[in-house]
Structure formats: structure tokens, C-alpha cells
Structure 1
Amino acid sequence: MRHTYLASLLMALVTTFSLSAGAVPASPPVTVLAPVSVTAAQAIDKLDLNTADATTLQRELNGVGKSKSEAIVAYREANGNFATVDELLEVKGIGKSILERNRDKVTVNN
């Protein structure tokens, strides 16, 4: 009987250890981030036509050299802030081709 008791106890210990060894570890906590508006995220990287200086415009925009960047600033100073990106077409030397090449890079914040 003593042998049966020890065998049962040993079997219980083995079963307990094997169950705990095969247990699935706890998952790490999941962090949920708030959704970011695509428009807001894109606007962060865009150049504001109403605040950029001529040097920045020249450096960041394709097809815009010193004279065109100065013309953009001069137009803004003479006419007030740009209401839309399309208003760039009113600036001497800025055509549809230059506007379309740079449309993704610029914004107007009023």
C-alpha cells in the first residue's frame, strides 16, 4: 500500500509539473494607437506657401529657381496669403506643369 501511495504522489507531481511546463506564457500587453488622419499626416510634411521664404521654396520645389521663388513671395506680399494651391498659377513663371510637379509638396494654411 505504501508503494501505491508513493506511486500516486509521484504521478500527481509529474502531471502538475508537465502541465505547468506546457502552459502558454502570458501575452504581452497590446498597445492600441489612435488613428491619424491621412490629411493631417500629409500636411505635416508639406510646405506652407503662406509662410515659406524664397530660399526654402527654391530648395524644396521642383522647377522653381531663385527668380520663381522670389516671384511667389512677391505675389504673396502684394496680394495677401494664398487661398488655394491652385492660386500659384497666378504667379508669373508658374505654369500647370510646375504646379502639378509640386502639388503634393505644398499646402496653404490660412
Structure 2
Amino acid sequence: MKKIKQLGLTFLFGLNAMAFAQTPPTTMPVEQNAVTQPVQQTQITNANAVNINTASAAELQDKLVGIGQKKAQAIVDYRTKNGNFKNIEQLAEVSGIGQATVEKNRANIILE
């Protein structure tokens, strides 16, 4: 009797698996002539945001966490010597500024 139960259960599970295997996935139809609208970019304003390519040492010191007078001046000196920053990670190349400081200030840094 036990073998018949096991055989019956195996058969039921097998049928169930086959039913799911044959069910086509449900997807939404895609319109062929759909017109896409460009996404309008909105400028996020942040009172503490600072453009590290144009800010003075005083502005950098005022707006960035963990940046004092010497580090702010080091940022300006680096920018003067090497040109504008191309990405935020480049800020870690400035003497005295590590990746942790960059991460703390990432939301407040603008590159333009």
C-alpha cells in the first residue's frame, strides 16, 4: 500500500511539474509604435552643494565635512595644478583627503 501511495504522489507531482513547464510566461504586450518621451532632467538643489571645480577654499571649508582650511587650500592647489576634477573619486588624489572623506561628501559635491 505504501508503494502505491508513493507512486501516486510521484505521478501527481510529475503532472504538476509538467503543467507548469507548459504554461507560457505571462508578459505584457509591447506596442510596436510606442512613442518615447525624453526624460526631463530636474536639477536637485542642495543648500550644502559645492562645485569643487569653481569653489574657493573658504567655500570648500564651509560646505564639506572634514575639510578644514589646509585641506580646502590643498583642493584649490590641486585643481590649479592639474585642471578641473573629472570625477568625484579624483578628490581622493588630493594630499590629506581619503576615500572616507570623499564618501562623506559625495552628495554635496557638484562637478561642472
TM-score category of the 2 structures, normalised to the smaller one: 0.5 to 0.7
Aligned counterpart in structure 1 of residue 104 of structure 2, from 97, 101, 106: 101
The letter of the residue matching 2:41 is: S
Q: Which residue of 2 aligns with 1:71?
A: 74
Cα RMSD (Å): 2.2
Across the two proteins, how many residue pairs are aligned to each other?
74
TM-score by length of structure 1 reads 0.61
CA displacement, residues 13-63 of structure 1 (integer Å, 9 cap, x when unaligned): xxxxxxxxxxxxxxxxxxxxxx9635x224786211100000000011100
Of 78, 81, 85 in structure 2, the residue corresponding to residue 82 of structure 1 is 85
**Higher Rg:** 1
Kindly tell me: are residues 44 and 84 of structure 1, through their superposed partners in 2, closer, same or farther at Cα, counting changes over 3 Å?
A: farther
Asked if the contact 1:43–1:107 (Cα under 8 Å) also holds between the matched residues in 2, the reply is no
Matches within 5 A, 1:16-55: 37-38=41-42, 40-42=43-45, 46-55=49-58
TM-score when normalising by structure 2? 0.60
Gap regions ≥5 residues in structure 2: 1-38
- Identity between Structure 1 and Structure 2 (%): 38
**Using a 3 Å threshold, how does the CA distance of structure 1 residues 80 and 66 change in structure 2: closer, same or farther?**
same
Contact 1:89 1:95 in 2 (8 A): yes
Matching residue of 1:59: 62
Q: What are structure 1's unaligned runs of at least 5 residues? A: 1-34
Partner of 2:32: none
Higher helix proportion: 1
